[in-house]
Chain A
Amino acid sequence: MPYRLLRFALSKKHPEPAFFRQPEQLKPSYDAIIIGGGGHGLAAAYYLAKDHGITNVAVLERGYLGGGNTGRNTTIIRSNYLTPEGVAFYDASVKIWENLSQELDLNLFYSTRGHFTLAHTESAMRTMRWRAEVNKKMGVNSEVVGPDDVKQACPEIDLSCAGHAPILGALYHAPGSVARHDAVAWGYGRAASNLGVEIFQNTEVTGLDIQNGRIIGVQTNRGNIKTGKVLSAVAGFTPRITEMAGLCTPIVIHPLQACVTEPMKPWLNTILVSGSLHVYVSQSSRGELVMGASLDPYELHSTRSTLDFVEGLSGHILDMFPFLSGIKVVRQWAGMADMTPDFAPVMGKTPIDGFYLDAGWGTWGFKATPISGKTMAATLANDKPHDLIHAFRLSRFAELDLTGEKGAAAVGH
């Protein structure tokens, strides 16, 4: 062990200041409570303080910071969606991402790689053209490219995919990026804490106090708190919170699994997604291949991972990259994805005054972290949904006015 490290290990002084304050006691009341200390909740806390001057805010996290879906996704950031509402929303997110490292004064390893969504069938090509045209109209950089362009960007790929799923073309999205997900949660947490937000880990919400259709407080395992505004940003735990509020939502929880290989020298510069083969893959800054596939096929509130998943995914990865046959998978995990019927999130006000939802983030939440924080902060501060999230309101289901984004999901879940 290097001497410097040993010295810090023995010293009572830590060389780096703590990332965020950890107050011992909950205050009896706050202006706003945010349930969920993941990227979305912490970003909302940060923008509440920064954009709206609301700093008497507590973030309550059941486990540890960023330990839920923020730390379990495959870190892909893109805006090549299908509906104009979706494209505008995710594009606003990408614009914040581009300068976020500077804003949070923390290196998020934001790395723009270019993003190929491979098409193996004529119907997939049709969806790619559709997405490209919607994207171009909205000013987002996407285009349909041929197999040669894929081969040029990634010479290692087998364009025939072992002969049974030849690549006909791809949707190429130049702004497609990856970032370190833990750093995003920690960066937003530190920035929010610096502005006065209080963060409580190991603090589980056990009930909501609602009177005459208004939220008046929350109950936790560390005591009760009074507040007039509560934001639920808890991803896979959303149904448990909405059940406390007596709200119905269309959200159903399915596990989504992912894995990484042992590290390799850098060879994969781009992000590759194949809807037909149910694969998305990129190479992290540590050299690991980060890979994910489709949802588990049935509802389950658990983060267990399965051999079936890693077998299926490996088969498909080998179709694309036969030379990886000797590479080992070193880690696999799962997150609880809160799926909606139209593959768009559920954001904004609810029938309960002062209770706001940032949910339904299924398999598409990480890329939206900055913009969901910003728009939810504005929604809480003004008690009026931000213009960008109108299409994601909870009432769209009862109004039969859905926002169909399934065609833009990474793989055909």
Chain B
Amino acid sequence: MKILHCPINGPRPIDEFAFGGEQREMPDPQTCTDTEWANYVFHRSGAPCVKKEWWYHVPSGTWFVAERNTSTDVVERTYLWGEA
């Protein structure tokens, strides 16, 4: 069982977490072009590297950020949004 470190609850089994996808900046929907918006909605940086991702600890309702290597599955660090 893989263990993930929740910034609030400490090390917990991976089953308790939900993956929220890569953390990305949303362009302003009022001012951005259709292409920028479609890029934001659909396109992803797909190649493997260390990515900032949203993760959710389900039992405690905690959203946080994990920096994870998507090739080796090694989580480098986890922290609450804004604490980086």
Measured CB to CB, the closest approach of chain A to B81, in angstroms, equals 18
Check B72 against A251 for contact (C-beta < 8 Å).
no
Check B71 against A301 for contact (C-beta < 8 Å).
yes
A397 within 8 A of B: yes
A262 within 8 A of B: no
Chain B proximity mask over A241-258: 1 for CB below 8 Å, otherwise 0: 011000011111100000
Check A302 against B72 for contact (C-beta < 8 Å).
yes
Chain B proximity mask over A277-317: 1 for CB below 8 Å, otherwise 0: 00000000000000000000111111010011000000000
Which chain A residues (77-91) contact chain B, with CB distance < 8 Å? none
A93 within 8 A of B: no
Check A242 against B42 for contact (C-beta < 8 Å).
no
Instruction: Known A240-B47, A299-B19; judge A250-B70 contact (CB<8 A).
Output: no
Most chain B beta-carbon neighbours within 10 Å: one of A239, A243, A299, A400: A299
Check B38 against A400 for contact (C-beta < 8 Å).
yes
Partner of A240 from B19, B38, B48, B53 at Cβ < 8 Å = B48
A226 to B1, CA, bound (A): 48
Chain A proximity mask over B34-46: 1 for CB below 8 Å, otherwise 0: 1100110111111
Q: Which residues of B contact A308 (CB under 8 A)?
A: 1, 15
Measured CB to CB, the closest approach of chain A to B40, in angstroms, equals 11
Instruction: Known A240-B48, A243-B47, A302-B72; judge A297-B19 contact (CB<8 A).
Output: yes
Q: Which residues of A contact B72 (CB under 8 A)?
A: 302
Overall SS of chain B's interface: mixed
Instruction: Known A297-B18, A398-B35; judge A252-B1 contact (CB<8 A).
Output: no
Most chain A beta-carbon neighbours within 10 Å: one of B38, B44, B46: B46
Check B19 against A302 for contact (C-beta < 8 Å).
no
A251 to B42, CA, bound (A): 9
Query: Closest residue to A402 on the B side, CB-wise?
Result: B42
A to B contact number (C-beta, < 8 Å): 61
Check B18 against A299 for contact (C-beta < 8 Å).
no
A207 within 8 A of B: no
Check B46 against A239 for contact (C-beta < 8 Å).
yes
Partner of A300 from B45, B46, B70 at Cβ < 8 Å = B70
Measured CB to CB, the closest approach of chain B to A102, in angstroms, equals 39
A68 to B34, CA, bound (A): 36
Check B19 against A248 for contact (C-beta < 8 Å).
no
Q: Interface residue count for A (Cβ, 8 Å)?
A: 25
Check A249 against B43 for contact (C-beta < 8 Å).
yes
Q: Which residues of A contact B41 (CB under 8 A)?
A: 397
A34 to B35, CA, bound (A): 30
A341 within 8 A of B: yes
A252 to B38, CA, bound (A): 16
Q: Which residues of B contact A298 (CB under 8 A)?
A: 19, 53
Check B47 against A250 for contact (C-beta < 8 Å).
no
Q: Which residues of B contact A300 (CB under 8 A)?
A: 70-71, 73
Query: Closest residue to A399 on the B side, CB-wise?
Result: B38
Check B38 against A397 for contact (C-beta < 8 Å).
yes
A242 to B70, CA, bound (A): 17
A400 to B41, CA, bound (A): 10
Check A239 against B73 for contact (C-beta < 8 Å).
no
A301 to B15, CA, bound (A): 20
A301 to B34, CA, bound (A): 30
Partner of A397 from B15, B18, B42 at Cβ < 8 Å = B42
Check A242 against B38 for contact (C-beta < 8 Å).
no
A238 within 8 A of B: yes
Check A250 against B48 for contact (C-beta < 8 Å).
no
Check B38 against A398 for contact (C-beta < 8 Å).
yes
A299 to B66, CA, bound (A): 13
Check B15 against A250 for contact (C-beta < 8 Å).
no
Measured CB to CB, the closest approach of chain A to B24, in angstroms, equals 12
Q: Supply 11 A–B pairs (Cβ within 8 Å), ascending by A.
A: A239-B47, A239-B48, A248-B39, A250-B42, A250-B44, A300-B70, A300-B73, A302-B71, A304-B73, A341-B42, A397-B41
Residues of B at the A interface (CB closer than 8 Å) are: 1, 15, 18-19, 22, 34-35, 38-39, 41-48, 51, 53, 70-73
- 10 closest A-B pairs by CB: A239-B46, A298-B19, A301-B48, A248-B43, A250-B42, A397-B42, A243-B47, A398-B38, A239-B47, A301-B71
Starting from the known contacts A239-B45, A299-B51, A397-B41, 13 additional A-B residue pairs (CB-CB under 8 Å) come to A239-B46, A243-B46, A249-B43, A250-B42, A251-B46, A253-B48, A298-B19, A300-B71, A301-B70, A341-B42, A397-B43, A398-B34, A398-B35
